[in-house]
Amino acid sequence: MFRRHNGPVRAPVTVRRADPARAQVEDDPAHSRFDLWVDDELVGILGYRCLGVGGVGGVDGAPEDGCRVALMHTVIKEEHGGRGWAAVLVHEVLEEARVRRWRVHPVCTYVQRYLGTHTEYLTLVDDAP
C-alpha cells in the first residue's frame, strides 16, 4: 500500500449506482437514437438503424412495427460511466423493441454482452444477415 508523505489523505470516492426510477428513455427518430435522460440531463444514447421490414434494407425515418433494427452503438457520458446506466438504457430499448415487434440486430458490443446475460431477450434477435 502506498503511503503519502506530508500529503492530504483522500476520502474514498462513493459512486452512485444507476437508479432506473430516475431515468427516462425517449425515441429520437430524427437522430436515429434512443436518449437516456436522468434528472433532466441527457446521460446517454443508443443509436439504431432501420434495416427494413422482411429483409428490405435502407429505410429512412423511424422504424415501424415489425421492422428489422440494427442497434449500432451505446454511449454514456464519461462522468456517468461505470454506474449501470448503459444497462438501464439497453433494457428499456429492448423492452420497447418487444412492444414494437422489432427484430433486433445487435451491432453494438455492449448490447451483445447484455443479451448474453439477459437471455430473455434472445427471442428478439434477428438471425438474418
**Confidence check: pLDDT of 17 > 90:** no
How far is 38 from 23, CA to CA, in rounded Å?
5
Q: What is the mean pLDDT of residues 28-36?
A: 95
- pLDDT of res. 2: 46
Q: What is the mean pLDDT of residues 1-11?
A: 51
- pLDDT of res. 56: 44
| Grid coordinates belonging to 54 | 422482411
The DSSP line for 1-45 is ----SS-PPPPPPPPPPP-GGGEEEEEEGGGTEEEEEETTEEEEE
Please name which of 124, 129, 54 lies closest in space to residue 91, comparing C-alpha atoms: 124
22's CB contacts (< 8 A; 6+ apart) are 38, 39
What secondary structure letter does DSSP report for 86?
H
Please name which of 54, 50, 57 lies closest in space to residue 33, comparing C-alpha atoms: 50
Q: Which residue has the higher pLDDT, 25 or 57?
A: 25
Q: What is the mean pLDDT of residues 51-57?
A: 58
- pLDDT of res. 55: 45
Sheet holding 68-76, edge to edge: 23-28, 33-38, 41-52, 68-76, 103-106
Tens of pLDDT, residue by residue over 58-109, are: 445 677 888 899 999 999 999 999 999 999 999 999 999 999 999 999 999 9
- pLDDT of res. 18: 83
Q: What is the mean pLDDT of residues 43-68?
A: 75
CB 53 within 8 A of CB 68: yes
